[in-house]
């Protein structure tokens, strides 16, 4: 056993103010490591006994047995099965910040369950002293994440050495305080989950509305129409080139990193189209360069589209935009006055139109829009301007609800992050 150190968190529940300091333990003092599956080929997977996948461990702090996949296990095989309280860890990832992600078995497995070969388990010596619900948060705490990131090894892919891992020191309070911390954080997680489910319902509702408010493939009128437009006839088919003027971002050496300055005119990138976030910019150019690239300047109401890698994502330049130019990975669409930009954006986000856009891609591993001329030939269906407004208004109201719900979830996650920083000690000093 290692020598016991003592430590305290900044934030503590009143009941434990006088409970003394926390212990500091090496992970090797908490339990023994258990290996995942060995000796399996691809033919063994698809049926048989349940096993926990790498993705389950990476994505979740608690294992949901319903998400397990299946593997053939013979009666005489020497494979480690999992049990309640086991803490599962990923052994490798593409970045050091993603190594050593943890997930806990809170419940008893209903049948013998195994672990994938790219993870290992820590089996606590005593789950009363290292409680599963507490472990769920301990092994996601800032103090643990800093320690495990520091020992990640590799260049293109980072790996976790079990020998180094079990030497990591972690803070452990008494079981009663463990219960209190776990109860507080799990209650917050339940709130976050409830709001996340509400968000998914809103997104599903929007998806359903769009399927009904826009004509289906091969049809010229939608299934659902606002009362004032019920007798307005068929929607008109237009080529995208009739609806908008296209400007592809500057190619070649027009925007080299060496010309960027600390402030000035913003350079709009792919991320702005993907996330519709116009508050942050990485690069700026000076006024002379901006004048030189004036053709690529954005204006309020322009539609920008991502054209490389993650293609076909659209965003509208807001009224309070930052002056700047698009880079080579963006396409600027200047929508003509007789069409509503919000409606055109919604139209281009329909699955059938996304399929058309993505089918026109060229390139190898990283896809690119093949040709603006090809995009101009894409056909879309458009109603009267008044009906465009009505549909856009309806769906934008729903988008506002979705955005508000996303913001609420983000604030709850920030609150949880702050709690985690306070409820767990920040550092362990020798």
- Asked if residue 411 has pLDDT above 80, the reply is yes
Query: What is each CA distance from 114 to 71, 138, 166, 368, in whole angstroms?
Result: 9, 23, 21, 42
CATH class of 5-173: alpha beta
| Kind plus residue range of the DSSP H or E element containing 23 | strand 22-26
Query: Please, what is the angle between helix 341-348 and helix 385-423, to 10°?
Result: 70
Strands, sheet with 244-248, edge to edge from the N-terminal-most edge strand: 244-248, 330-335, 303-306, 314-316
Angle 351-359/341-348 helices, nearest 10 degrees?
70
For residue 414, what pLDDT is reported? Answer: 97
Query: Mean pLDDT over residues 216-244, rounded?
Result: 94
Q: pLDDT (tens digit, 9 = 90+) per residue, 163-178?
A: 999 999 999 999 999 9
* Spans of all domains in the chain: 5-173, 236-382
Q: Are strands 69-71 and 45-52 parallel, antiparallel or unpaired?
A: antiparallel
- Domain 5-173 matches domain 236-382 at the CATH topology level: yes
Q: What is the pLDDT of residues 285-341, one digit of tens each?
A: 999 999 999 999 999 999 999 988 788 899 999 999 999 999 999 999 999 999 999
**Integer Rg of the chain from CA:** 27
The token pair at 188 is: 């917050």
What residues does 308 pair with on adjacent strands? Answer: 368
Tell whether the model's pLDDT for residue 4 goes beyond 80. no
Cβ–Cβ < 8 Å for 70, 49: yes
Q: What is residue 217's predicted lDDT score, i.e. its pLDDT?
A: 85
Number of residues assigned to the chain: 430
Sequence-distant (≥ 6) Cβ neighbours of residue 122 within 8 angstroms: 27, 30, 31, 32, 33, 34, 86, 87, 89
* Interval 263-293: pLDDT, tens: 999 999 999 999 998 989 999 999 999 999 9
Q: Are 111 and 49 in contact (CB under 8 A)?
A: yes
Q: Which of 4-8, 55-59, 135-139, 249-253 has the lowest mean pLDDT?
A: 4-8
How do residues 69-123 score in pLDDT, each as one tens digit?
Answer: 999 999 889 999 999 999 999 999 888 888 999 999 999 999 999 999 999 999 9
CATH of region 236-382: 3.90.220.20
Q: What is the pLDDT of residue 371?
A: 74
pLDDT of residue 2: 46
């Amino acid at each position: 056993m290692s020598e016991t150190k003592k430590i305290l968190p900044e934030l503590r529940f009143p009941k434990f103010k006088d409970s003394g300091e926390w212990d500091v333990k090496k992970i090797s003092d908490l339990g023994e490591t258990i290996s995942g599956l060995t000796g399996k080929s691809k033919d063994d997977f698809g049926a048989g006994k349940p096993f926990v996948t790498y993705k389950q461990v990476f994505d979740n702090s608690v294992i949901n047995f319903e998400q397990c996949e299946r593997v053939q296990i013979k009666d005489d095989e020497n494979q480690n099965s999992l049990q309640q309280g086991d803490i599962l860890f990923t052994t490798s990832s593409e970045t050091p910040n993603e190594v050593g992600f943890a997930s806990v078995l809170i419940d008893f497995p209903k049948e013998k369950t195994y672990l994938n070969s790219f993870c290992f388990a820590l089996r606590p010596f005593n789950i009363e002293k290292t409680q599963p619900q507490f472990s769920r948060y301990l092994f996601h705490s800032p103090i643990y994440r800093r320690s495990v990131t520091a020992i990640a090894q590799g260049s293109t892919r980072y790996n976790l050495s079990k020998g180094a891992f079990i030497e990591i020191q972690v803070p452990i309070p008494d079981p009663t305080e463990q219960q209190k911390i776990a109860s507080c954080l799990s209650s917050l997680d339940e709130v976050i989950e409830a709001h996340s489910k509400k968000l998914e319902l809103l997104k599903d509702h929007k998806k359903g509305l769009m399927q009904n408010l826009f004509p289906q493939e091969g049809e010229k009128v939608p299934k659902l129409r606002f009362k004032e437009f019920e007798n307005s006839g068929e929607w008109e088919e237009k080529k995208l080139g009739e609806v908008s003027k296209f400007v592809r971002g500057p190619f070649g050496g027009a925007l080299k990193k060496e010309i960027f300055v600390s402030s000035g005119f913003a350079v709009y990138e792919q991320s702005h189209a993907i996330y519709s976030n116009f508050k942050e910019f990485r690069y700026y150019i000076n006024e002379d360069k901006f004048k030189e690239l004036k053709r690529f300047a954005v204006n309020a109401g322009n539609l920008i589209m991502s054209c490389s890698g993650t293609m076909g994502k659209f965003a509208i330049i807001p009224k309070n935009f930052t002056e700047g130019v698009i880079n080579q990975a963006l396409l600027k669409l200047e929508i003509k006055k007789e069409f509503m930009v919000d409606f055109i954006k919604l139209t281009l986000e329909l699955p059938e139109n996304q399929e058309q856009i993505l089918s026109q891609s060229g390139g190898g591993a990283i896809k690119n829009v093949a040709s603006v001329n090809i995009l101009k030939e894409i056909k879309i269906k458009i109603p009267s301007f008044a009906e465009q407004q009505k549909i856009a208004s309806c769906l934008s109201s729903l988008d506002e609800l979705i955005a508000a719900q996303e913001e609420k979830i983000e604030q709850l996650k920030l609150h949880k992050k702050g709690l985690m920083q306070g409820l767990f000690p920040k550092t362990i000093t020798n």
